[in-house]
Amino acid sequence: MTGYFSNLGGHPGQDMLHTGRAVFTEAYAVIPRGVMRDIVTSNLPHWTGTRAWIIARPLTGFAETFAQYVMEVGPGGGSDRPEPDPGAEGVIFVTDGALDLRLDGLPHLMTAGGYAYLPPGADWTVLNPGESSARFHWVRKRYAAVEGIDTPEAFFVNEADIAPVAMAGTEGRWATTRFVDPTDLRHDMHVNIVSFEPGGLIPFEETHVMEHGLYVLEGKAVYKLNRDWVEVEAGDFMWLRAFCPQACYAGGPGRFRYLLYKDVNRHPALTLGAL
């Protein structure tokens, strides 16, 4: 795999022009990498040597089902009490450095491309054992349990060990690295990686019930969001409301890849604000 974008932070000088691509609408939002500066980071309880860019959270008129963080943990930093909500499940995806993630006391060394699914109630801790900062995405969702269906088990894998699945009829120009079997109804969210080769595209306006969070890991493209074509590049984040039309054209010169969250495999709640 090529490198994953992870170079956030810093602060622009007073000689810089104010030009940006940040957009917040009723149907979608774009949080470009240029606004993810030091000044917008958050500190978190029971985490040391760590700062977080919280790029999605449940909010009226914004994300309904999930929260997403870009985490930066300095050498020796981490947490022995990382998850405050016992009903929350999580996905960790490492983009830089190394993490010692311990589940029930058993160590799992995660490096770039490493992926972990952590079910609700999991007993886990995390530490950066290296001499440089570790960076990873953390997606959190309140798990929607269903009577008669088991809660998924935790698992660890690396993207390099999974073969992408090409979209039918695209000759591999549009493919998805799936970390969970789509037919496994124990899972109520998927966090996958979608890849487009130069010239690849979504050739129609997808319009569906799933809410999306898309963090661009590599490359650049133009993305159709509702009525607008928006330029995006590595380090940008997009949120799409359920039923927001979307399409994509990856013009190159390199691959375009993003980490994709979506809520799946459950009936829509009939009460606003409910799971």
Distance CA 29, CA 196 (A): 21
Distance CA 123, CA 260 (A): 25
Measured distance between the N- and C-terminal CA atoms of the chain, rounded to whole angstroms? 36
Confidence at residue 17, expressed as pLDDT on a 0 to 100 scale: 85
Tell me what percent of the residues of the chain surpass a pLDDT of 90: 93
Predicted confidence band at 274 (pLDDT cuts at 50, 70, 90)?
Answer: low
Confidence at residue 275, expressed as pLDDT on a 0 to 100 scale: 58
Average pLDDT over residues 104-119: 98
Confidence at residue 272, expressed as pLDDT on a 0 to 100 scale: 78
For the cut 80, the answer to whether the pLDDT of residue 59 exceeds it is yes
Predicted confidence band at 19 (pLDDT cuts at 50, 70, 90)?
Answer: confident
Average pLDDT over residues 94-99: 98
Average pLDDT over residues 15-32: 92
Tell me what percent of the residues of the chain surpass a pLDDT of 70: 98
Mean pLDDT lowest among 107-111, 219-223, 270-274: 270-274
Confidence at residue 120, expressed as pLDDT on a 0 to 100 scale: 98
Q: Do the strands 28-31 and 48-56 form a parallel or antiparallel pair, or are they unpaired? A: unpaired
206-250 confidence digits (pLDDT tens): 999 999 999 999 999 999 999 999 999 999 999 999 999 999 999
Residue 120 in contact with residue 69, Cβ under 8 Å? no
Confidence at residue 3, expressed as pLDDT on a 0 to 100 scale: 82
Confidence at residue 89, expressed as pLDDT on a 0 to 100 scale: 98
pTM attached to this predicted model: 0.96
Contacts of 103 (CB under 8 A, 6+ apart): 118, 122, 123, 124, 154
Average pLDDT over residues 126-150: 97
Taking all residues of the chain, what is their mean pLDDT, rounded to a whole number?
96
For the cut 70, the answer to whether the pLDDT of residue 273 exceeds it is no
